[in-house]
Amino acid sequence: MRFQSALLLVVAVVALPGAASETNRHWSYRGDTGPAHWAALDRDYGTCGMGKAQSPIDIRKANVRPKHLPPLSFHYRASALEETNNGHTVQVDVPAGSEMVVAGHHYVLKQFHFHSPSEEMIGGKRFAMVAHLVHRDRQGHIAVVAILFRSGQPNALLARLWHDLPQDAGQTREAGLTLNAAELLPDARGYYTYTGSLTTPPCSEGVRWFVLKSSATLSREQLAAFAKLYSRNARTVQPLNGRVVLSSK
């Protein structure tokens, strides 16, 4: 897989039970159930409208703190995966055995899913797609790694995932899918970091994001295949409200 200079890897940490983005009322990315209306759809979604530390954001400026930011360490392994069209995106569930370590703290990889275009922005620019890799520690804190893609050469791992995409909401592909999510990760692990939220209802805050500074590619054909299912499943960027973005080397 080819990597270029602007893939983002983003990590979020927050204490939440279960699948926090799949709660009571129906929500979507368009119309009366779209992001502008999430807070009014269910009392549990109030933070989507009232929160002051929401994600995603547009990263335009960061303070450099190379001595105070720990490296990110990934220990993923190949395993049999389950791929589902959940009505909001394509989600890939991962069995136990893959984890990420940050400053000695362990987070188990639970699932990853996709948004197109990217939710995160850098200097006012969106990317063609983003993958969010969702982890959880023993206390229930969640860490989400986001990998952004630009149009270019075909992506080998996506080629395998896209081979038999579940076409209908609720449909799951279980057989014949074994891969290692580490194939999505770039070699360079410098990053930005800030405090934010989940990007889907209930938009819970207390989330710490890390943004890696490299990029992956996917082909136009791969992007078009996903767009047939979900062409704009991305939340708009949110105000910083005085938050500080830090940067490692």
Catalytic positions, please? 88
Closest CA to 70 of 96, 41, 101: 101
Alpha helices in 58-148 (DSSP H): none
SS3 166: coil
d(CA 203, CA 159): 31
Cβ atoms of residues 46 and 57 within 8 Å:
no
Helix (H, G, I), strand (E, B) or coil at 204: coil
Q: Radius of gyration (Cα) for the chain, nearest Å?
A: 17
